């Protein structure tokens, strides 16, 4: 019998904990549900964050007193192959939210295998993607562009249930 898993909570090593906490909490809306002892405002060695059903943990990349003045470029580059995917719906609201927060988001798109995605990077340079699931409908040519969300997508709202983010049908009118 397989293990009954309920989620995944990545641990992200961060250079500057207060800056990272302010990004995830104050910009994206995560709440802090646990943390190591405080050393100052938003200054702790580890914290656990939650937004809806999405959870992540932040940990300082360096122990207190050992952090260099600037991030190590080699360490930052080594994380270029890491990306966190977060299930999302209501694309126009998400896009407008990101724009209002001044986030540098790449143009939303649909991959060649049908996954709807909106890329952005956190303040550590770690990429993450808001994903809307997979299109179950096959098109003979290019997927038509939606006037509502700005994505190429079917008008019948068939985004979703093949996604590992659960049932995320999106009604597009």
Residue among 124, 115, 133, 127 nearest 170 (CA): 133
Phi, psi of 52 (to 5 degrees): 60, -125
Q: Would you state the pLDDT for residue 93?
A: 77
Q: What is the pLDDT of residue 36?
A: 95
pLDDT tens-digit profile, the chain (173 residues):
888 888 889 999 899 999 999 989 998 899 999 999 999 999 999 999 999 888 999 999 998 889 999 988 888 777 767 788 888 777 667 777 888 888 877 777 777 777 788 888 776 667 778 887 665 555 555 555 655 455 555 544 444 333 323 333 333 32
Picking from 116, 124, 120, the residue whose alpha carbon sits closest to that of residue 102 is 120
Q: What count of residues does the chain have?
A: 173
The pLDDT assigned to 157 comes to: 45
SS (H, E, C) 47-86: EEEEECCEEEEEEECCCCCCCCCCCCHHHHHHCCCCEEEE
Domains and CATH numbers, the chain: 1-78 (3.10.180.10), 83-173 (3.30.720.110)
pLDDT of amino acid 50: 96
Looking at residue 45, what is its pLDDT?
A: 95
C-alpha to C-alpha distance for 28 and 19, rounded to whole angstroms: 13
SS3 19: helix
Question: Rounded to two decimals, what is the model's pTM?
Answer: 0.70
- The reported pLDDT for the residue numbered 150 is 55
């Amino acid at each position: 019998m397989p293990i009954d898993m309920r989620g995944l909570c990545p641990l992200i090593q961060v250079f500057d904990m207060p800056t990272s906490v302010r990004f995830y909490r104050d910009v994206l809306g995560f709440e802090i549900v646990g943390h190591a002892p405080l050393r100052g405002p938003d200054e702790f060695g580890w914290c656990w964050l939650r937004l809806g059903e999405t959870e992540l943990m932040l940990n300082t990349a360096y122990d207190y007193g050992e952090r260099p003045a600037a991030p190590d470029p080699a360490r930052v580059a080594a994380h270029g192959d890491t990306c966190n995917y977060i299930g999302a719906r209501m694309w126009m609201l998400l896009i407008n939210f990101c724009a209002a927060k001044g986030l540098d988001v790449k143009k939303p798109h649909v991959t060649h295998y049908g996954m709807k995605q909106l890329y952005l990077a956190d303040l550590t340079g770690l990429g993450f993607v808001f994903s809307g699931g997979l299109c179950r409908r096959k098109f003979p040519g290019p997927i038509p562009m939606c006037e509502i969300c700005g994505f190429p997508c079917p008008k019948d709202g068939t985004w979703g249930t093949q996604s590992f983010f659960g049932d995320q049908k999106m009604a597009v009118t």
